[in-house]
């Protein structure tokens, strides 16, 4: 899983008046580091805009952008992108439906065995995906879940559910218990207090968990690879793998597909900045 | 913000009837009569049964998650152990028979010449990746402690490599590392550092290095983020006091930053190891374990045995060996994270 520790958006370390000077030199250096780190992303976009078949002369800049790569990508992989979207949305729904009540129980009730559940979540992160896939393949074969969207939704949620539980629970831990108690004293049952008080108050953590769960399912490759045997259900990650598995002579369509498959990550980073910050804080590993 | 935060911190004591949730009045929930009684005066047995109902209700919130975890983590582990003692092949899917073979799968896997290659590659891949990610991640984390315009936004953009689907990164890097027309060789060629294309992914001596390099690129954001968070939590006063004693620059790092960061460092390293051991996507995408098994790791070999050779028993045995290696580090992780919380 991909928890990360606190990136507190708190105030930067201030060390006297000297630090108040605008330190543009450091900014330039940071931009330089960023340029190196993001070069592959630039190269992906650049290569996706090159005309087909002239891969030997990929220019450093897409001065004459050519969209045939995208046309090919959408005609060949459009269905797979749709499959990925359906699976990811399904996984978000399933993960939140399972994780939110569990997080509530772990944060508010002194349920016996809560410690064991948390411990199991931690241990689950040590289990290699290939071990899970190996066993699931045989079970799915018996249950007829191979090559099915529900099968992949269930399996892909394994990436998101433990993370979602931890992140929502961390948030609920910080919520004043008195709010829920007040609701309970007013006569609200457990389910009503949860539904109409706890969930609305936890909105931000639910969005954060949902976004990351989406990304995990969208990025899944292992379950797509092992739990499908035909072309009936094919997420886009597997589509890309099939592209690059053979000799590639049309990199612009491969890169165009890669760009399309990166859109959720890019949207997440640009539009949902505050939720990413919350995600990196809440899922703290320490 | 810690995983192991004591549950009781956020929960009021519920031992006292009428205050905690377990004893809170809930119209219609109790047996007849109990609803109108003041909480404190309910006869003991009835109260106990109501508490039991309450407990049951609370557990219901947890049940879906427990069932899911049992089915998608617990069951696979158990099933994998069972399969590793069986002759489990494609035939099993038709006949339904998987004869017991004792330790034969383990013997076959451990005695194959490929195992030592995979084990060595796994070790090199893990150590190389972690070392690179950690050193560069720490250097960047320290750099970003500086106060400068656009710090926050530049730091968050650095997360992008980590958010991209791994298979996307693999595809992009395959194109960058391409021998004939990849960007890296063209760049090196333009600088006259190399004159012929370097076969980054197709040479048995370079492929592992290239794969490690790509994995370092993927892991830097994760290390940067966690270490940056750790650095931010070191109180300024320590540096102020240290500078009075002449501890600045390297000395400050050596005597203040590093000791204070140690708990976070151990968590980062052990988590990194656990994640790197199970890496599959990147290697399959970049080299598929080749050329000539030079990038084959235990994880990729386990995948190959199960899903390419359809020897599910042997694949399971190898998977279990990987679990055992991971568990050793899991123990280290739990100890490290506990220490991190204590401090």
Scan residues 74-113 of A and list those with Cβ closer than 8 Å to B.
97-99, 101-102, 104-112
Spatial distance between the Cα atoms of A72 and A69, rounded to a whole number of angstroms: 5
| DSSP state letter for B36 | G
Q: What is the pLDDT of residues A175-193, one digit of tens each?
A: 777 777 777 777 777 788 8
List of chain A residues whose C-beta atoms are within 8 Å of the C-beta of residue B327 = 126
Find the range with the poorest average confidence among B13-22, B215-224, B284-293: B13-22
Report the 10 Å Cβ neighbour count for A223. 28
pLDDT (mean) for A74-87:
93
Which residue of A190, A261, A277 is in closest CB contact with B57?
A: A190
Query: What percent of chain B lies above the pLDDT cut of 90?
Result: 42
**B97 by DSSP, 3-state: which?**
coil
**For chain B, domain boundaries:** 104-342
DSSP letter for each residue of B98-113:
--B-TTHHHHHHHHSH
CATH pick for B104-342 out of 3.30.70.1530, 1.10.3720.10, 3.40.50.1260, 3.40.50.150: 1.10.3720.10
Q: Are B178 and B263 in contact (CB under 8 A)?
A: no
Q: What is the pLDDT of residues B51-104, one digit of tens each?
A: 777 778 788 899 999 999 999 999 999 999 999 999 888 888 778 778 888 899
CA dihedral of A163, A169, A175, A179, whole degrees rounded to 10: 130
Spatial distance between the Cα atoms of B172 and A265, rounded to a whole number of angstroms: 15
pLDDT (mean) for B232-236:
89
Report the 10 Å Cβ neighbour count for A230. 8
pLDDT greater than 50 at residue B6: no
Q: Tell me if chain A has a CB within 8 Å of the CB of B187.
A: no
Which residue of B77, B166, B239 is in closest CB contact with A131?
A: B77
Report the 10 Å Cβ neighbour count for B315. 30
What's the pLDDT at A252?
Answer: 87
Q: Give the residue, B201 or B21, on which the prediction is more confident.
A: B201
CATH pick for A77-282 out of 1.10.10.10, 3.40.140.10, 3.50.30.10, 1.10.3720.10: 1.10.3720.10
Complex prediction ipTM: 0.85
């Amino acid at each position: 899983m991909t928890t990360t520790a606190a990136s507190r958006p708190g105030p930067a370390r201030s060390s006297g008046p000297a630090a108040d000077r605008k330190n543009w030199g450091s900014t330039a250096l940071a931009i330089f580091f960023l340029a190196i780190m993001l070069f592959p992303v630039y190269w992906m976009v650049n290569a996706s805009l090159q005309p087909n078949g002239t891969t030997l002369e990929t220019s450093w800049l897409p001065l004459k952008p050519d969209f045939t790569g995208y046309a090919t990508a959408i005609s060949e992989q459009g269905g797979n992108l749709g499959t990925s979207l359906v699976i990811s949305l399904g996984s978000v729904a399933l993960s939140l439906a399972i994780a939110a009540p569990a997080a509530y129980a772990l944060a508010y009730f002194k349920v016996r065995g809560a410690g064991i559940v948390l411990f199991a979540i931690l241990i689950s992160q040590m289990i290699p995906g290939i071990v899970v896939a190996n066993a699931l393949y045989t079970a799915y074969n018996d249950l007829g879940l191979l090559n099915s969207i529900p099968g992949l939704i269930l399996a892909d949620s394994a990436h998101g559910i433990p993370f979602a539980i931890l992140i929502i629970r961390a948030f609920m831990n910080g919520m004043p218990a008195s709010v829920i108690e007040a609701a309970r004293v007013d006569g609200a049952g457990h389910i009503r207090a949860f539904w109409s008080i706890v969930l609305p108050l936890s909105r931000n953590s639910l969005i954060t968990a949902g976004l990351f769960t989406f990304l995990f399912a969208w990025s899944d490759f292992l379950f797509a690879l092992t739990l499908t045997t035909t072309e009936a259900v094919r997420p886009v990650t597997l589509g890309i793998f099939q592209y690059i598995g053979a000799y590639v002579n049309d990199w612009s369509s491969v890169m165009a597909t890669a760009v399309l498959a990166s859109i959720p990550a890019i949207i997440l980073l640009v539009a949902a900045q505050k939720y990413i910050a919350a995600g990196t804080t809440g899922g703290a590993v320490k | 913000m810690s995983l192991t935060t004591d549950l009781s911190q956020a929960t009021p004591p519920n031992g006292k009837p009428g205050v905690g949730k377990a004893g809170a009045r809930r119209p219609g929930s109790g047996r007849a009569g109990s609803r109108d009684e003041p909480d404190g005066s309910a006869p003991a047995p009835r109260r106990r049964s109501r508490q039991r109902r309450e407990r049951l209700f609370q557990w219901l919130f947890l049940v879906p998650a427990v069932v899911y975890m049992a089915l998608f983590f617990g069951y696979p582990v158990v099933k994998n152990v069972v399969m590793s003692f069986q002759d489990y092949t494609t035939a099993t899917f038709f006949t339904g028979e998987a004869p017991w073979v004792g330790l034969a799968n383990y013997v076959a896997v451990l005695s194959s010449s490929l195992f030592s290659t995979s084990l060595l590659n796994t070790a090199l891949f893990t150590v190389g990746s972690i070392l690179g990610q950690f050193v560069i991640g720490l250097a960047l984390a320290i750099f970003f402690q500086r106060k400068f315009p656009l710090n926050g936004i530049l730091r968050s953009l650095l997360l992008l490599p980590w958010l991209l689907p791994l298979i996307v990164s693999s595809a992009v890097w395959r194109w960058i590392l391409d021998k004939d027309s990849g960007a890296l060789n063209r760049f090196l060629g333009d600088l006259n550092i190399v004159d012929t294309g370097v076969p980054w992914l197709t040479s048995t001596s370079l492929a592992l290095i290239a794969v490690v390099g790509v994995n370092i690129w993927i892991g830097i954001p994760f290390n940067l983020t966690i270490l940056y968070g750790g650095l931010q939590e070191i109180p300024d006063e320590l540096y102020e006091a240290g500078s009075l004693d002449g501890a600045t620059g390297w000395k400050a790092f050596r005597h203040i930053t590093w000791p204070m960061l140690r708990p976070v460092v151990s968590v980062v390293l052990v988590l990194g190891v656990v994640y790197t051991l199970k890496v599959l996507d990147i290697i399959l995408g970049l080299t598929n374990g080749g050329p000539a098994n030079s990038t084959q790791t235990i994880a990729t070999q386990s995948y190959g045995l199960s899903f390419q050779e359809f020897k599910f028993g042997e694949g399971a045995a190898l998977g279990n060996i990987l679990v055992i290696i991971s568990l050793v580090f899991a123990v280290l992780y739990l100890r490290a994270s506990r220490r991190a919380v204590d401090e």
